[in-house]
Amino acid sequence: MSTTGVFNGTNLILTVEGATVGHTTSCSMSLSMDTPEATTKDSNGFSEYIGGVKGGEISFEGLVSYDDTANAIEFADYLLARTQLTCVFGTAETGDAVYTAEGFLSSVEMSAEMESAVTYSGSITLTGAITKSTN
């Protein structure tokens, strides 16, 4: 049964190459579309635009745990090798929307503050079609 009403952000997960990204504290997906101007003399003084190129980016943050299947070190290796990744963004609940796309890691960062948990963050630039399906 699909999720109804406002739900807890913990239920939204990111998987990369079939593995859930471990110990995430946040993840987000941003979709965009260029809107090329199509104003002509026939536009009666109003701007007009057309739908153009679509794209997206997925960002994530979390706590470093080297024993996670999808961890900060593995992401750094993917970036250095220019590996194209399969990404899935959505919940695990049957009936909920899930977005799937290919992408490349465009950034990975690990940060360690004294006497604090080590954190990591990254972003994936999506390439090609972004498909929506349901679990």
Per run of 10 residues, the mean pLDDT along the chain (length 135 residues) is 91 96 96 98 97 98 95 96 98 96 98 97 98 95
Kindly list the distances between the CA atom of residue 85 and the CA atoms of 3, 61, 105, 107, 118, in Å, as whole numbers in the listed order.
Answer: 27, 17, 8, 14, 24
* 2, part of any domain: no
* 129, part of any domain: yes
pLDDT value for 76? 96
Domain of residue 98: give its range: 9-134
Helix (H) or strand (E) holding 125: strand 119-134
pLDDT value for 1? 78
Q: DSSP E strands: which ranges in 21-118?
A: 24-33, 54-63, 84-90, 97-111
pLDDT value for 113? 96
pTM, to two decimals: 0.92
* 4, part of any domain: no
pLDDT value for 126? 98
How far apart, in whole angstroms, are the C-alpha atoms of residue 45 and residue 30?
A: 32
